[in-house]
Homo-oligomer: A and B are copies of this chain.
Amino acid sequence: MSKDAIREAGLKLTKPRAMILEVFEQSPEKHHSVEDVHKELLERGHDIGLGTIYRVLTQFEVAGLVKRLNFEGGYAVFELKSNSHHDHMVCLECGRIYEFVDSEIEEIQERIANERGFRLLDHSHLMQGYCWYCREKNQ
């Protein structure tokens, strides 16, 4: 259970932390900015300070519960850290975020890093364009 994960991270199981995690687990959306989380919590009747959300999400990130994504736009977006790695495609028109994985790309990446003596720890691969729903509007 996810609440155990909070404790296992050495964090106290507080109301704010539990509710923030719930937003990620219960919302149909997978990706949330801090603002998103804040609004969602307000709609659920929980007025949690922005500062707390920033702090908690950073703690969750360190604990490996969530992943911070730095798309353009000047603000961070978080997603629940699933066990399966994936990369992202973002629609420049509607903002929808799609996920993709390709083992071949992952392998080539590793190979390139190795060839250069680079110890690969992480990567972010983002494709930007227009999704199926928005293509027509932009030809």
A contact residues vs B (CB 8 Å cutoff):
70-72, 89, 91-92, 98, 100, 102, 104-105, 108-109, 112-113, 116-132, 135, 138
Residue of B nearest to A115 (CB): B100
Please tell me if the beta carbons of B124 and A98 are within 8 angstroms of each other in the complex: no
> Which of chain B's residues have a CB closer than 8 A to the CB of A72?
70
**Residue from B89, B117, B122 in contact with A118 in the complex, judged by beta carbons closer than 8 Å:** B89
With A89-B118, A117-B132, A118-B129 given, name 5 new contacts (CB 8 A): A98-B116, A100-B112, A102-B112, A113-B127, A120-B129
Per CB-CB distance, the 10 closest pairs between chain A and chain B, nearest first, are A117-B132, A121-B129, A119-B130, A120-B129, A123-B127, A125-B125, A122-B128, A119-B129, A70-B72, A124-B126
